[in-house]
Amino acid sequence: MRPIKNGDPTKKPTGYYAVAESTSTQSPIDPNVLREANELSDIIKRAQLQEEIQMLGYPFSWSGRVTPVDSPLDYIIGLGPSVARGLTRTALKSAYKLNPFANKLNNPSAFYRIAGRDAFEDAMSSGVVRSITIIPEGSDLFSIMKSRPTSFPSYAKGAPNLTYLRNADDVIFKNSGPMYKRGDILPNGNVLTGRHWAYRPYDEVTEKVAKSIPVEEIYEATPHWLMGHKKLY
């Protein structure tokens, strides 16, 4: 507040702006909040750097030639702000891969199966994961093969096989096993045969490939940009 040059120095002045609160009287910021903010910033920066290197072979900052433009983003090595903005968006989509707290679904000893929303609803009502592939009437052989019809729920080991991802609302089933693939020796001593190479559950009672397996965990197939795959069950 400006000093009073005339008048009673004890009288409260009028028409002045209030002085901002001193930082010494403000509540301190929670150090955990600061730490989380710094970690998030670092994750985003590293994700963006990965995208830049993947696209250009080196980071934007190596160009040595930055020209200001009307946009907040600058032209960098002649690519323009739209490219930089696109890389930023792409980097944010992949930030979960660098976040140590994100659910990445990459347990080397676990088994994963991608399926549609109908499979999720069936699992919730039945309590088991099973193959419920519906083949539309009139489908050709290629479409039938692409739909992966099997009498058992097939899995990939270590990480989901994203080639089976079809829709944004698909889900991923995670099971602990044990499971076996073609060529493996089963507990009964026999070698597992068949035309499919995917992992499948084994029924030790019937000593055959199991047609279903109890639900353990289910996740959204489309990952959140920072936290990874959201758990549904």
Distances (CA, A) of 157 to 1, 26, 211: 69, 53, 18
Which pLDDT value is given to residue 144? 52
Which pLDDT value is given to residue 202? 92
The 3-state secondary structure of the chain reads CCCCCCCCCCCCCCCCCCCCCCCCCCCCCCHHHHHHHHHHHHHHHHHHHHHHHHHHCCCHHHHCCEECCCCCCCEECCCCHHHHHHHHHHHHHCHHHCCCCCECCCCCCCEEEEECHHHHHHHHHHCEEECCCCCCCCCCHHHHHHCCCCCCCCEEECCCCHHHCCCCCCEEEEECCCEECCCCECCCCCECCCCCCCEEEEECCCCEECCEEECCEEEECCCECCCECCECC
Which pLDDT value is given to residue 132? 72
Which pLDDT value is given to residue 30? 74
Which pLDDT value is given to residue 220? 96
How many CA atoms are closer than 13 Å to the CA of 177, on its beta-carbon side?
Answer: 18
Residues of the chain short of pLDDT 70, as ranges, are 1-29, 51-92, 133-149
pLDDT tens-place string over residues 132-171: 755 555 656 555 555 556 789 999 999 999 888 889 999 9
Which pLDDT value is given to residue 8? 55
The structural domains of the chain, with segments of one domain joined by +, span 31-97, 111-220
Which pLDDT value is given to residue 62? 55
The tokens describing 162, both together, are 């994203």
Which pLDDT value is given to residue 70? 36
Which pLDDT value is given to residue 117? 92
Which pLDDT value is given to residue 153? 93
Which pLDDT value is given to residue 42? 74
Biggest distance spanned by C-alpha atoms of the chain: 104
Which pLDDT value is given to residue 43? 75
pLDDT tens-place string over residues 70-88: 343 443 444 444 445 555 5
Which pLDDT value is given to residue 226? 84
Q: How far apart, in whole angstroms, are the C-alpha atoms of residue 93 and residue 224?
A: 8
Specify the CATH number of the domain 111-220.
3.20.170
Prediction pTM value: 0.62
